[in-house]
Amino acid sequence: MPRGANLPAIAAFNDTVVLDAIRRSGDGMSRVELVGATGLSAQTVSNVSRRLLGQGLIREAGKQIDGPGKPRTILQLEPRGSYAVGVHLDPTVITCVLLDLEGSVIEHVRRHSPVSGDPAETIAVAVDAIGDVLKRSGVDRSRVSGVGVAAPGPIDVGTGVVVRPPLVPGWNDLHLGDELTAATGLPSLLAKDVTAAAVGERWRDPAGASGNFAFVYYGTGVGVGMVLAGAVYTGASQNAGDVGHAVVDPGPDGALCACGRRGCYGESVRPYRLVMQGIRAGVLRAPGGAPVPDGVDLDLDVDTVDELFTALTRAADDGDAAAAAILDRSIRNSALYLSNLAALLDIDRVVYGGPSWARVERRYLEQLPERLREIDMSILTHPVTLASSSVGDDVAAVGAACLVLDATFSPR
Amino acid sequence: MPRGANLPAIAAFNDTVVLDAIRRSGDGMSRVELVGATGLSAQTVSNVSRRLLGQGLIREAGKQIDGPGKPRTILQLEPRGSYAVGVHLDPTVITCVLLDLEGSVIEHVRRHSPVSGDPAETIAVAVDAIGDVLKRSGVDRSRVSGVGVAAPGPIDVGTGVVVRPPLVPGWNDLHLGDELTAATGLPSLLAKDVTAAAVGERWRDPAGASGNFAFVYYGTGVGVGMVLAGAVYTGASQNAGDVGHAVVDPGPDGALCACGRRGCYGESVRPYRLVMQGIRAGVLRAPGGAPVPDGVDLDLDVDTVDELFTALTRAADDGDAAAAAILDRSIRNSALYLSNLAALLDIDRVVYGGPSWARVERRYLEQLPERLREIDMSILTHPVTLASSSVGDDVAAVGAACLVLDATFSPR
């Protein structure tokens, strides 16, 4: 119940209530149906509709004849009435999408992240990508309600700052929100990459909006976005989803983590670590080709890690036993983490995605369900199903754009 | 929006809407205020009020003079208009409370759980406890809307069955709901103990209703109830909160778990395991007094474990270094788990309670915050505060009764 709100605020709120009702209806609604659905008076619905029609956010779409009375005009969303940009900054790839008001992807571009990791360069690439989707789509900037940015956490949502991502030291205190707004003239909104991915998946997947699932985001590292009781869960500071230091492989062979422990989940599965294991096992050739002594970690740039990770997964797919053993161990470790996650949150669905996912997808889908069954300590009262993102590689960018549509057009 | 509901269903729904608005108001509301708060018509509010007054669920409490018009009658909740029983079945103690409509505890009794663990005996004690709170309070059974039961999971909420609690083998397939309803004539509702505890804590603690917190339930084992984004989170099958097999102490000295791994969180902190460590360290005397060879676990009944756990905590409090070392290690292990939980859920508050909590409370409150600070891997963007349950030992029973009030009187 809005208390003490002034009139323009109430009008804006009512606009979003009506727009939201029309959006959720799918096929559109008559003004009479809107009165029933929103609890607003007929006069208010009439005023709001006129305003939304004038703004080009809805359209009149034919008449509905229903009984002996006057035919009713159906009001539908005007998908091209407003747009949102979504940008996903990953250390290896920058994805940019343009969504219309219905949430359909109108245009998308993908750019290599600068290998230097330099923040100014990174923002320049993102700004260029935003310009490019707008130019290609022919959509006027005035029709774009904002830019949603997905980035590695931890983030400060209030100020739009990336605080200190553990695996991307160059992005410490990156003022993403301000910089993108200054460069594009568009309002911006920052979200953690795993949260944005969960938002994108929930938007597209009809089952997502009602259930509970974890979105395992596999990129430079691993993180988890959560949809709990039908809603995206973000936590006290919007930084939910850090899973890096849960211990899953504590033996003497477990990957040594920066925290000093062995077998942390994040370290046990991140591509850099698997690539280093591949080099030591002789499956991959280190840049320069020199042998790498035990306990020494090479300083590899993100592109090299990405190429070597591709080589490792290909070798395993081609039957190389040592490469397969490295990946299979990371799948076993993932299963152990996911069994604990599923027991804690009582979820029955895990969705995988993120920039590193496609290369291991087949192997995970083949092995992970079996590994989960082996681990199940009779705790779970139901099985856990596993799926790949129904949105695909753009999922975090799509989710970031969804957040803009939501912030602009959802009643609150 | 209720769709296609028949008239009696709508009337019942409107009753709960009005009752809920009066309940939340604290001091009561006039009929005019109820029209504004509920969106119902003046006529409907008048009809509903008459019905609720007739049922004795609300009362007229004086007039409010507000401007030149007619003084308005204030409607308040009649706390003694309805009651709910809450029962908490723990392997060592059975707690039973009677709550009034406002959620105040009118009466409570505590009984020893049968040492045999026999389900029929356990239910008989629970039924006797229910009869006792009703007799002592003088409340007529017809005024009691139901019995809420908190029990160890996993549970089947739909059928009211305790499925197969890992630490209470005697309670496998215990048809708690049916048995209690048959014995008391009252409708019953089953909840997992950790969930009920979170419900009880959220009800009493004003901060709980809006924030995120984890309720660590420390009893025969350890489990976690969650309040996320202000709501109690229960999961897909109402079994959220199993944390037993997260690895926290994997070294060769870590407690060996039934799952085959070392250092699972549940095993590392449960009183039985700490008591066995105390016996081996010579701090405690095993029943019979014979030495216990390494790797052999004694078959101790729940009462003996409970007494020995009390002795262990007292020895530590009295300065016994070996006893202190055992407890301090379990606190260190708890900190490791909680740091991962806080990073996953981005929570800034952890509340502790449950039957084993009071004996270790002082030591945890002294040490755990410091252990958490040591572990923090710069992941958390905010500190985690630690508190004891504001409800105390009855928290799970109170929560179970709250669920009955909620199921009966909350609009849905």
- The mean pLDDT values, 10 residues at a time, for chain B of 412 residues are 44 84 86 88 92 93 78 91 95 94 92 88 95 96 94 89 81 89 94 94 69 93 93 91 94 91 96 96 89 86 94 98 98 96 94 96 96 76 87 93 86 66
Contact B346 A241 (CB under 8 A): yes
Residues of B in contact with A166 (CB under 8 A): 377-379
What gap in Å lies between CA A154 and CA A190, rounded to an integer? 11
Tokens of B363: 């030591």
Strand partners of residue B346: none
Residue B307 half-sphere exposure, CB side, CA atoms within 13 Å?
Answer: 10
pLDDT band at A378 (very low <50, low <70, confident <90, very high): low
Contact A240 B378 (CB under 8 A): no
A39 lies within 8 A of chain B by CB: yes
Q: What is the pLDDT of residue B412?
A: 63
Least CB–CB distance from A239: residue in B154, B251, B381: B381
Convert the pLDDT of each residue in A243-269 to its tens digit.
Answer: 999 999 999 999 999 888 999 999 999
Smallest CA–CA separation between B348 and chain A, in Å?
A: 7
Smallest CA–CA separation between B20 and chain A, in Å?
A: 14
Residue B308 half-sphere exposure, CB side, CA atoms within 13 Å?
Answer: 26
Please provide the DSSP assignment of A370-392 as one string.
HHHHHH--S--SS--EEEE-SS-
Q: Nearest chain B Cα to A261, which residue?
A: B250
Q: What is the pLDDT of residue A1?
A: 27
State the average pLDDT for chain A.
Answer: 89
Q: Which of B238, B268, B374, B381 to mutate to test the interface with A (most CBs of A within 10 A)?
A: B381
pLDDT band at A209 (very low <50, low <70, confident <90, very high): low
Least CB–CB distance from B246: residue in A233, A237, A246: A246
SS3 state of residue A63: strand
| Bond into B291 cis (ω within 30) | no
Convert the pLDDT of each residue in A321-373 to its tens digit.
Answer: 999 999 999 999 999 999 999 999 999 899 999 999 999 999 999 999 999 98
Of A96, A92, A95, the C-alpha closest to A117 is A92
B333 lies within 8 A of chain A by CB: no
Between chain A and chain B, the number of residue pairs with CB atoms below 8 A apart is: 135
End-to-end CA distance of chain B: 10
Q: What is the pLDDT of residue B378?
A: 60
Least CB–CB distance from B382: residue in A233, A237, A245: A237
**Residue B267 vs residues A243, B163, B185, B195, B327: alpha-carbon distances, Å:** 21, 21, 39, 21, 13
Q: Which of A345, A382, A385 to mutate to test the interface with B (most CBs of B within 10 A)?
A: A345
Q: What is the value of ipTM here, to two decimals?
A: 0.89
Least CB–CB distance from B346: residue in A239, A245, A379: A239
pLDDT of residue A411 exceeding 80: no
Smallest CA–CA separation between B139 and chain A, in Å?
A: 37
Q: What is the pLDDT of residue A229?
A: 86
Residues in chain A: 412
Contact B381 A154 (CB under 8 A): yes
pLDDT of residue A230 exceeding 90: no
A57 contacts A73 by C-beta, under 8 angstroms: no
Q: Average pLDDT in the A19-33 region?
A: 87
Of A26, A34, A36, A38, the C-alpha closest to A411 is A38
Least CB–CB distance from A241: residue in B246, B341, B344: B344
Q: Average pLDDT in the A221-238 region?
A: 92
What gap in Å lies between CA A101 and CA A99, rounded to an integer? 7
Placement of tokens 């109830």 in the chain: B225
Which domains are delineated in chain A? 7-77 (1.10.10.10), 81-205+395-409 (3.30.420.40), 206-388 (3.30.420.40)
End-to-end CA distance of chain A: 10
Smallest CA–CA separation between A216 and chain B, in Å?
A: 12
Q: Which of A24, A348, A379 to mutate to test the interface with B (most CBs of B within 10 A)?
A: A379
Residue numbers of B between 135 and 194 with CB closer than 8 Å to A: 154, 156, 163-164, 166
Placement of tokens 């103990």 in the chain: B193
Of B85, B86, B89, the C-alpha closest to B123 is B89
pLDDT of residue A6 exceeding 60: no
